[in-house]
Structures are given as structure tokens and as C-alpha cells.
Amino acid sequence: MTTLEIKSKIPLSELLDSLKQLGADELGEVASTAVRLRANQRGQVLSDQETKLLKQINKTLLPAEQARMDLLIEKREAETLTESELAELISLGNLVEEIQVERLAALIELAALRNVSLEHLKESLNLPSAQ
């Protein structure tokens, strides 16, 4: 678990800057927690199922996987990719696709659970329409 070093009273901008230290999974966890805290302040409590779905919606490649994929894409563009690297890039691409499919399924399930349209849910979560 990552530990952030912050002062006890800090401006919001500094807190947000501190979040840049987190990895993708930890940032997703922060996002899910922030959504849950916001709901609690509004008098809404997220169910365990909603929390699980929000974690799935916020899931991304691990930072090391994303960095490797970025490097392999650069090598592909430079036309220096080996056969084994191409296979690895395809595998990472398949993983991204799997994450996106799981994200869409979680979005659909959460929209149904909340009895709202998928588009309305995306707007309420500040997600781009193409996601």
C-alpha cells in the first residue's frame, strides 16, 4: 500500500497533486472511495454491489503493464518490434479489451441497478460517452 506524505491542513490543489504519486489501481480505489463518500454526504450509501461495480469500472492496466504497452507501441511505430514483442503487444491489447468489456458490463449492471440509462450513468460518473 502506498503512503502519501501530506500536511494536516492543505489546500485541495495540494491534495490532488499528492494523488499523482499513486498507481492506477490505488487511484481507482481513491476514486471509488470518493464516490462513496460523496454519496454518504448526500444521504446515499453505496451497496457492496455498487462499490464492486465502481471498482470494476475504474480498473485499468497495472502501471508496469501500461508502461510496457506504451514502449511496445513506440517500437511498433518505429518498426523495430520483434516477433515475440508483437505477441506480447497483442496479449496486452487483448487484456485491455477484456478490461473494457468488463467495464461496459459493470456500467450496464450499475445503470440497471440504479434504474437509469447508461448515458445518464456515464454523465453522473463524469465518464466520456465513448467509454
Task: Please measure the distance between the N-terminal and C-terminal CA atoms of the chain and give it in whole angstroms.
Answer: 28
**How many separate domains does the chain show?**
1
Q: What is the pLDDT of residues 10-34, one digit of tens each?
A: 787 887 788 788 887 787 777 777 7
CB atoms within 10 A of CB 44: 11
In a domain, 106, yes or no: yes
Calpha distance 61→93 (Å, rounded): 10
In a domain, 31, yes or no: yes
Task: Quote the domain boundaries for residue 112.
Answer: 17-59+94-124
Calpha distance 131→122 (Å, rounded): 8
In a domain, 32, yes or no: yes
Q: Sign of the C-alpha dihedral, residues 18, 19, 20, 25?
A: positive
pLDDT band at 96 (very low <50, low <70, confident <90, very high): very high
In a domain, 24, yes or no: yes
In a domain, 115, yes or no: yes
Tell me, yes or no, if the pTM score tops 0.75: no
